[in-house]
Structure 1
Amino acid sequence: MFEIIRDIGAITRQIQNISNAEFRKLGLGNNAFLYVIRVYERPGMFMGELADSVQIDRTTAFRTVQKLVEKGYLRLEDDQQDKRLRRVFVTQQGEAVYPKLHAFEQLCSDQLLENLSQSEQATLDTLLQKLLHEK
Structure 2
Amino acid sequence: MFTIIRTIGGITRTIQADSNKNFKELGLNNNLFIYIIRVCEQPGMFLGQLADAIQIDRSTSFRTVKKLVQQGYLQVENDKDNQKIKRVYPTQKARDIYPQLHQYEKDQSDKLLDKLSSEEKEALAELLLKIAPY
The answer to whether the superposition gives a TM-score over 0.5 is yes
TM-score normalised by length of structure 1: 0.96
Task: Give distance in 2, aligned partners of 1:69 and 1:42.
Answer: 17
Runs of 5+ unmatched residues, structure 1: none
RMSD: 1.1
Task: Give distance in 2, aligned partners of 1:31 and 1:21.
Answer: 11
Task: Give distance in 2, aligned partners of 1:48 and 1:132.
Answer: 18
Runs of 5+ unmatched residues, structure 2: none
- Residue 44 (structure 1) aligns with: 44
Deviation at residue 59 of structure 1 after TM alignment: 1.1
- Residue 7 (structure 1) aligns with: 7
Q: How many residues align?
A: 134
- Residue 24 (structure 1) aligns with: 24
Task: Give distance in 1, aligned partners of 2:2 and 2:87.
Answer: 38
- Residue 95 (structure 2) aligns with: 95
One-letter amino acid matched to 2:104: F
Runs of 4+ in 1 over 4 A off after TM superposition: none
- Residue 128 (structure 1) aligns with: 128
TM-score normalised by length of structure 2: 0.96
Question: SS state of the match for residue 88, structure 1?
Answer: strand
Task: Give distance in 2, aligned partners of 1:125 and 1:64.
Answer: 28
Q: What's the % identity of the aligned pairs?
A: 53
- Residue 119 (structure 1) aligns with: 119
One-letter amino acid matched to 1:42: Q
- Residue 66 (structure 2) aligns with: 66
Deviation at residue 133 of structure 1 after TM alignment: 5.4
- 1:47-104 per-position Cα deviation (integer Å, ceiling 9, x unaligned): 1111111111111111110111111110111011110110001010000000000011
Deviation at residue 7 of structure 1 after TM alignment: 0.5
- Residue 35 (structure 1) aligns with: 35
Which segment drifts farther, 117-126 or 48-57? 48-57
